[in-house]
Amino acid sequence: MSSLSGKRILLGISGGIAAYKTPELVRRLRDAGATVRVVMTHAATTFITPLTLQATSGNPVHTELLDHTAEAGMGHIELSRWPDAVLIAPATANRMARLAVGLADDLLSTLCLALAEGVPLCLAPAMNHRMWSAPATMHNRDTLLARGVHLFGPTNGPQACGEVGLGRMEEPQHLVEDLARLFVRPWLAGQSLLITAGPTREALDPVRFLSNRSSGKMGYALAAAAAAMGAQVTLVTGPTSLPTPPNVRRIDVVSAQEMLGAVLDHIRDCGIFIACAAVADYRPVVTAPHKIKKQGENTMALVLERTEDIVATVSALPQRPFVVGFAAETEQLEANALKKLHNKGLDMVVANWVGGEIGFESDDNALQIYWAGGQKILARARKSALAYTLLELIAARLNPGLHPGLTSGHIPTPAPTGATA
């Protein structure tokens, strides 16, 4: 369930080449459950026809300031009363300048002036990178930011003019996610969450270790989303190159043993534990004190021992939080995930395929979530977006009154007890 579900989004399109992406943007907004109405500037209609936007939005497209068909001939006022948010995409340098100055010489700028207090105005800038970095545009950007306008992008990359730089419009799916974040509900307010993320490293000698491909992106996305949803978040992380999300307390660890220690140190008073880290299952029995030298033989055997199972340890605590484990699988996703749900004593297991193009390292993932008596499948999306949906689901499991229906859906008979997966 997206936070955009049921929201009224007014999409303003100004005259830039990125306007060709707006039918997809409209489609994705509607897929997220929003109702969309479109206002185009005259310049925008030279890049893409109003008919295309009418067909994709399912609503008439507005282009004229003085609209004879609108009530009392004041279409801009009617339109300004309608939306829950306004998104202007693409927002050209000219459009930003008009908004910064407060011009009211076309429908889009006029309705932005007339917008009710509290209705977010969001811009997705798109222009040549020199135009973006020009002092006048920077000044307008700062003026708009100081007024509380939200800026989504621009991003870096090849531009329509053939140059490369900062000035590309954010991709439609990312704009939808940015917009959705504005409507996130504080469903985790008052909750304390402990999340593990990233890989662990098990030392062989002072310079070598056993590890895996986890980048930490999924766990960090969960930490960022949980903090945005009002929770107090502690992130116990293996080595990654990611910045700490805002309002998140971060504890860096290296090995599985250190991760277990940090988790046990901070688990008290936590209502929710999410084990997203890719913890090594085995570590070398002996860590050599000096760099291991090549031997005469062509092969070399490592003797490994099991690491502590962190999530199972937390599940077994006498005063345990709501425990969510992940299952990273390359085969039999559902069966293996259900085994982990059972064998590790989880309240919920989040299964993802790994070894392909999503899962480890990628910005995207796809999740199959199971709990006793229910399941939810979340199709491929950015980890940052999936994190919100997963946390909403967890919040709804803890408090079914929050969102009846979110946690409905039955699963087959739980897997029988078997070998630890």
* Catalytic residue annotation: 161
**DSSP symbols for 130-183:** HHHHSHHHHHHHHHHHHTT-EE---EEEE-TTS-EEEEEPPPHHHHHHHHHHHT
Whether 87 and 111 have beta carbons less than 8 Å apart is answered as no
- Cβ-contact 292, 208 below 8 angstroms: yes
Residue 280, both tokens? 């090594």
Rounded to whole angstroms, the Cα distance separating 254 from 200 reads: 5
Q: Which is nearer to ligand PMT, 150 or 340 (CB)?
A: 340
Q: Which residues bind ligand PMT (CB under 6 A)?
A: 196, 198, 214-218, 256, 275-279, 281, 307, 309-311, 325-328, 340, 352, 354, 359-361
What tokens does 284 get? 């070398």
Instruction: Give the C-alpha separation, 380 to 356, whole Å.
Output: 13
Nearest distance from residue 195's CB to ligand PMT, in Å? 10
Report in angstroms how near the CB of residue 226 gets to ligand PMT at its nearest: 15
Name which of 90 and 198 has its Cβ closer to ligand PMT: 198
Tokens at 155, concatenated: 């991003």
Least separation in angstroms between residue 256's CB and ligand PMT is 5
Q: Output 252 or 281, the one with its CB closest to ligand PMT.
A: 281
Q: Which is nearer to ligand PMT, 90 or 216 (CB)?
A: 216
3-state helix, strand, coil in the chain (%, to 5): 30, 25, 45
Considering the complex, state which of residue 10 and residue 260 has its C-beta at the smaller distance from ligand PMT. 260
| 332/330 Cα distance (integer angstroms) | 7
> Is residue 369 a contact partner of residue 350, using CB atoms and an 8 Å limit?
yes
Give me the least distance between CB of 324 and ligand PMT, in Å please.
Answer: 8
Q: How many residues does the chain have?
A: 421
Q: Which residue has the tokens 């907004």?
A: 29
Shortest spacing between CB 81 and ligand PMT, in angstroms: 42
